[in-house]
Chains A and B, each alone.
Chain A
Amino acid sequence: AQKITQTQPGMFVQEKEAVTLDCTYDTSDQSYGLFWYKQPSSGEMIFLIYQGSYDEQNATEGRYSLNFQKARKSANLVISASQLGDSAMYFCAMRGYTGGGNKLTFGTGTQLKVEL
């Protein structure tokens, strides 16, 4: 079974500052993948970044980077230079396999609020 833990229900950050959102995971799979999604109040899930378990370098996508520490089973999201539009719910998720498709197991999310 896979499990994702996000221990920060809410976070505040000032505009232009960097923020780290925590994610730890548990799995018995040797090969796995970790995602971060952003969910604004409008509801859609927006893909941000992906890290494969065998990727040697931490993933980066623009202002988003993933601090992947395999031994500690953590995959924290770092958002640099926060913007007001970054205010949203952020979910960490792990990819599993089911019936030929990819099953995502989500954490409980972190509500990020960017302040002036």
Chain B
Amino acid sequence: DAMVIQNPRYQVTQFGKPVTLSCSQTLNHNVMYWYQQKSSQAPKLLFHYYDKDFNNEADTPDNFQSRRPNTSFCFLDIRSPGLGDAAMYLCATSAPPDISQYFGAGTRLSVL
């Protein structure tokens, strides 16, 4: 059974049109992460939530926002997608002190 679920698996949006990516988890983990992985590159952490506390990475563009309405769900909002935002977006969860991170299958975003 999938434990970290990302919807949709593929998302196409238009340049400048806001888009939301979804992540849900059945693990009841208190930490949820969003990573961006551009083609042939390493995943890069954008931000994470520790419970309700939002932690933004210093180099994450303001164009990227996140919401976590409850423990199970976390959303990635891209306010005005540019061509350079086309990437795989990976959601992950963890439950400190356990060091493991559990990843979803990702959402591949295309920007036309």
Give the contacting residue for A108; candidates B41, B45, B50, B92; CB below 8 A.
B41
Total A-B pairs in contact (CB under 8 Å)? Answer: 66
Q: Is the CB of B50 within 8 A of A99?
A: yes
| Pairwise interchain contact B99-A50, C-beta atoms closer than 8 A | yes
Interface string of A36-52 (1 = CB under 8 A from B): 01000011111100100
Interface of B is mostly: strand
Closest residue of A by beta carbon distance from B55: A99
| Chain A positions within 8 Å of B31 at CB level | 100-102
Q: Are the CB atoms of A101 and B42 closer together than 8 Å? A: no
Residues of chain B lying within 8 A (CB to CB) of residue A47: 100-103
A98 close to B99 (CB less than 8 A): no
Stretch at the interface among B13-21, B61-69, B73-81, B104-112: B104-112
11 additional A-B pairs beyond A45-B103, A102-B99, A106-B43, beta carbons within 8 Å, are A44-B103, A50-B100, A100-B53, A100-B55, A101-B33, A101-B48, A102-B94, A103-B45, A103-B48, A106-B44, A107-B42
Which residues of B approach A to under 8 Å, CB–CB?
Answer: 9, 31, 33, 35, 41-45, 48, 50, 53, 55, 57, 88, 90, 92, 94, 96, 99-106, 108
